[in-house]
């Protein structure tokens, strides 16, 4: 279940980062890109807990 959740978080992170490339405003672009990157690394953190 944890692996499935982590893969889902990966997909959401990549999707948000991809959507940011279509954003018209520069501020929205950086906001979406940073959120997508944060979610992506959160997925990595879930797969490899300390």
pLDDT band at 49 (very low <50, low <70, confident <90, very high): low
Specify the pLDDT at position 44.
78
pTM, rounded to two decimals: 0.56
Q: In the chain, what are the domain boundaries?
A: 2-47
| Residue 47 · residue 3 · CB < 8 Å | yes
pLDDT digits (tens, 9 = 90+) for 10-28: 888 788 777 777 767 777 7
Q: How far, in whole angstroms, is CA 29 from its chain's centroid?
A: 13
| Residue 16 · residue 39 · CB < 8 Å | yes
Mean pLDDT of the chain: 77
Specify the pLDDT at position 12.
83
| Residue 21 · residue 29 · CB < 8 Å | yes
Q: Determine the Cα–Cα distance for residues 35 and 2; give it in Å rounded to an integer.
A: 21
């Amino acid at each position: 279940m944890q692996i499935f959740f982590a893969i889902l978080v990966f997909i959401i992170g990549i999707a948000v980062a991809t959507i940011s490339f279509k954003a018209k405003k520069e501020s929205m672009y950086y906001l979406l890109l940073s959120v997508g990157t944060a979610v992506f690394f959160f997925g990595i953190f879930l797969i490899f807990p300390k």
